[in-house]
Structure 1
Amino acid sequence: MTESCVIIGLGQIGMGYDFDIDDESAVYTHARAISLHSGFTLAGAVDVSPLQRSRFEQRYAAPAFDLVETALGELQPGVVVIATSSESHHSVLTRVLRCCRPKLILCEKPLAYALEEAREMVTMCEQAGVSLFVNYIRRTDPGVVEIKRRLDSGEISAPFKINAWYSKGMLNNGSHFLNLLELWLGEVQATRTIQAGRLWDDHDPEPDVQIQFERGDAVFRAAWEECYSHYSIEMLSRSGRLRYDKGGELIEWQGVYADPNFDGYRILAEQAQTIPNGMGIYQWHVYEQLHRHLARAETTLCTGRQALKTLEAINLIINQR
């Protein structure tokens, strides 16, 4: 049995990123992921743009509506995807819950810009008995899951020291990597601003900040998105060095070996081990884990509560600037 899905918002993550890519080994959007996953059916979509609705209907042979209420009333989906602008997430989720009670809602990140709105969203879904997840895509990537296994088993051993590079704002892109480190290292315990930084797009802060997690410390530094994108994590542990580079498209591990030239010294392996990842089809992996959740299996998806903790940590950082 498949679950019917409705996407609200047909922008880049909703439909755009892979629209003009014929190769189905690239799965970057909700529309393509749903259409390719055997556990889901793409029932329809909602967007204010007639052009986007027309493009969706031609590509995916499913109806597109201009109103949330019309789409949900007619289609009654089991899964609703909120892929609208971040400032509209609260209002869209409110409209969804007034219309229907889907089994789950998948919301784009961040959950909201306003912390109180995010809290209300989590509470509304809990009271309605609707599972809420937030689309922090990296948490479902096989390479990330493998790193978590190694950390939890002690194969990558504590303590940990991390350098992380982000750009395009702490709320938008920085939150991806803060949330990822929460998955690996536990909740944020404390933060300390190193440099206040600027505002990306006049509203999203880009501070350099030290963050203490339950199992290690990280320094986040902001790069310059207008010059080039750079998203990277380097983690040192007693057992070696982890390199999470190119936003997760390259993951390497260097173990520790006895130095062949100097007795008593230990060095990192010259040849790094590549940890396979699935970033080429990252959105498909999200839906694979949503399918597992519906089957009551364990997942690494980001729940609404977990996304709220990420947002609370970011607000703490912003208020310290």
Structure 2
Amino acid sequence: MMRAGLIGCGRIGCEFDDDAARIGIYTHAAAYRAAEGVSLHALADADPAKLAKAAERYGIPAERCYASADAMLAAGGLDLISIAAPDRFHADLALKAMATPGVRGVLLEKPLALSLDEGRAVVAAAQARGIALAVNYSRRFCPAHARVRAALDSGELGRVQTVTGFYGKGVRHNGSHWLDLLRHFFGPLASVQAWPSRAAAFEGDPSPDLRIVLASGLVAHLQASNHLDYSLFEMDIVAEHGRVQLLESGHRVIWQRVADSPYYAGYRLPQLAEVDESGMRDLLLHAVQDLRDAVLAVRVPRCSGEDGLAALQAAEAACRSLQSGQAEALP
């Protein structure tokens, strides 16, 4: 049985369990309790109220609840570490977790870090120590999204014409989710150009509009929305044989197939074929299961540290482009 320690008892760490009836296993804590072969062993959070609530909910005794990540890591006895702390702490906590004797796997919330130097240091540490490092770009663990990837890979949709979408709440914090999904579906990104938008920044993280050119030549456009008004995360894939829309943050996927127009003779239109409402249930459970399996099989997790670094590189290129006014190339 692998023992897991959780750093951060906020929303994605624990509190989304209040919505479990609608979204399933969507927290790190619940995932470690549900996955076979692992157990939630310890908790750490600087907020005493959050820590106490989580301890009661998951039955963690007081001697295994810590007011700091350092104290939890110093106590040892952990195989897996989840980091669900605020973005600014990700890199430092990941480095400390991977330096802890006995730790074999780390599941890190996105983004990987807030700078490329930090991100590269985290990935290098995982490689040097042989630790399975996973970054929770959660849509990679969604069966409904996997179906979209399969349709693209098989050629079922034909030649992709364009990809557009919306995001909000910072290009690093949430925009990197979209950039990772774009890369997951369509391959490496070649360049990013950014323009100021009317959307609010998030904790100093800007929310620009983007034009992304992929290595394949495909061009995608990502528009920012103001998260202070409401949440909006969408991707619209327009292809030769149809159209796929990932709506409501990915909980609903609309499939359209090209067919003869019901209105005008001689015209063809994308027409509704299916609404997939299987949603994004149990995504953290899938992520924890994948981390467990990666540790046991000594393989790379489904969303690796390198994937997290690639998403961060794209987000950082967007921030540089805001300053330069030019498209910024990606490695």
1:33 and 2:46 matched? no
Quick one: distance in 2 between partners of 1:177 and 1:38?
30
Quick one: distance in 2 between partners of 1:254 and 1:25?
25
Change (3 A) 1:24 1:185: closer
1:68 and 2:69 matched? yes
Alpha-carbon offset, residue 68 of structure 1 = 3.1
Match of 1:45 in 2: 43
CA contact (8 A) 2:132 2:294 kept: no
Match of 1:134 in 2: 135
CA contact (8 A) 1:73 1:100 kept: no
- Residue segments in structure 2 that go unaligned for 5+ positions in a row: 323-331
Quick one: distance in 1 between partners of 2:233 and 2:66?
36
CA contact (8 A) 2:6 2:82 kept: yes
Instruction: In structure 2, give the amino acid aligned to 1:8.
Output: I
Across the aligned residues of Structure 1 and Structure 2, the Cα RMSD in angstroms comes to: 2.3
CA contact (8 A) 1:43 1:75 kept: no
Counterparts of 1:232-247 in structure 2, within 5 Å, are 232-247=234-249
Greater alpha carbon shift after TM alignment, 120-129 vs 75-84: 75-84
Match of 2:315 in 1: 314
Match of 1:171 in 2: 172
Quick one: distance in 1 between partners of 2:296 and 2:146?
19
Change (3 A) 1:292 1:254: farther
Counterparts of 1:95-114 in structure 2, within 5 Å, are 95-114=96-115
What is the DSSP-based 3-state SS (H/G/I as helix, E as strand, rest coil) of the residue aligned with 2:122?
helix
Alpha-carbon offset, residue 297 of structure 1 = 9.6
Relative contact order, higher structure (CA 8 A, sep 6+): 2
What is the DSSP-based 3-state SS (H/G/I as helix, E as strand, rest coil) of the residue aligned with 2:226?
coil
Quick one: distance in 2 between partners of 1:245 and 1:299?
29
Quick one: distance in 1 between partners of 2:78 and 2:248?
36
What is the DSSP-based 3-state SS (H/G/I as helix, E as strand, rest coil) of the residue aligned with 1:219?
strand
TM-score, reference length from structure 1: 0.91
Match of 1:11 in 2: 10
Match of 1:253 in 2: 255
CA contact (8 A) 1:159 1:238 kept: yes
Instruction: In structure 2, give the amino acid aligned to 1:258.
Output: D
1:226 and 2:199 matched? no
CA contact (8 A) 1:86 1:109 kept: yes
Identity fraction in percent: 27
Instruction: In structure 2, give the amino acid aligned to 1:235.
Output: I
Instruction: Please give the per-residue CA displacement for 1:142-199, whole angstroms capped at 9, x wherever unaligned.
Output: 0111111111111122233011101111111111111111100111111223445565
CA contact (8 A) 1:142 1:276 kept: no
Counterparts of 1:117-132 in structure 2, within 5 Å, are 117-132=118-133
Instruction: Please give the per-residue CA displacement for 1:96-123, whole angstroms capped at 9, x wherever unaligned.
Output: 2332242211111111111111111111
1:56 and 2:54 matched? yes
Quick one: distance in 2 between partners of 1:293 and 1:278?
25
- Residue segments in structure 1 that go unaligned for 5+ positions in a row: none
Alpha-carbon offset, residue 314 of structure 1 = 1.2
Quick one: distance in 2 between partners of 1:239 and 1:264?
16
Match of 1:296 in 2: 297
Aligned residues: 318
Instruction: Please give the per-residue CA displacement for 1:231-265, whole angstroms capped at 9, x wherever unaligned.
Output: 11111000111010000010011011133565543
Quick one: distance in 2 between partners of 1:282 and 1:97?
24
Match of 2:325 in 1: none
Instruction: In structure 2, give the amino acid aligned to 1:232.
Output: E
Change (3 A) 1:74 1:166: same
Quick one: distance in 1 between partners of 2:20 and 2:192?
44
Quick one: distance in 2 between partners of 1:266 and 1:208?
31
Alpha-carbon offset, residue 67 of structure 1 = 3.6
Counterparts of 1:148-187 in structure 2, within 5 Å, are 148-187=149-188
CA contact (8 A) 1:101 1:130 kept: no
What is the DSSP-based 3-state SS (H/G/I as helix, E as strand, rest coil) of the residue aligned with 2:114?
coil
Change (3 A) 1:101 1:95: same
Match of 2:329 in 1: none
CA contact (8 A) 2:199 2:208 kept: yes
Quick one: distance in 1 between partners of 2:189 and 2:251?
25
